[in-house]
Amino acid sequence: MEQIYEHQAFRTRRRHHCRDRDSGFWRVGQSINLTGIFRCIQMCRGGLPAYVTQNGPELNILTEAGVPSRAWPDWYSPANRIWIDAFNESAVYSPDGMLIQFDNGTIWQRELPPVVPPVRRRR
């Protein structure tokens, strides 16, 4: 399922990804929650933190350059890849959700909040 689009004299190919919830696609896809703040560690386009917000299988992404996009599980490998619509590319994420590596070489690493020691209460 491939379509060819023409835009400003450029020809690009785009795979269509099934988003039909009745097909069972979403039930076998994405088993980890990618919601969090990520820091770009390779091939960065900006210096800001990247934000990922996941709602069910769909994701909202704000890149390190401040560019927003929507994403969802990749049709061909929904258990470990996402498709980012605005960039017309996919990305693979690690099983623990700590790294996201885009097809163009950009790598995001999840930032963990600082560990706060437990508060001791006096009796």
Instruction: Give the C-alpha separation, 4 to 38, whole Å.
Output: 33
Q: Which DSSP category does 3 fall into?
A: E
Q: From CA 51, how far away is CA 65, in angstroms rounded?
A: 11
| Structure tokens, 113 | 């909040």
Domain extent listing, the chain: 31-110
The beta strand positions in 43-98, using DSSP E, are 50-55, 58-62, 68-73, 81-84, 89-93
pLDDT > 90 in the chain, percent: 60
Instruction: State the average pLDDT over residues 42-51.
Output: 95
Query: How does pLDDT run across 51-60, given as a tens digit for each residue?
Result: 999 999 999 9
∠ CA(72), CA(44), CA(38), 5° rounding? 55
Whose structure tokens read 């994420």?
A: 93
First to last CA, the chain: 68
32: confidence class by pLDDT, cuts 50, 70, 90: confident
What pLDDT, on the 0 to 100 scale, is given for residue 122? Answer: 81
Identify the pLDDT of residue 38: 97
114 confidence band (pLDDT: 50, 70, 90):
confident
pTM of the complete model: 0.70
Task: State the CATH architecture for 31-110.
Answer: Beta Barrel (2.40)
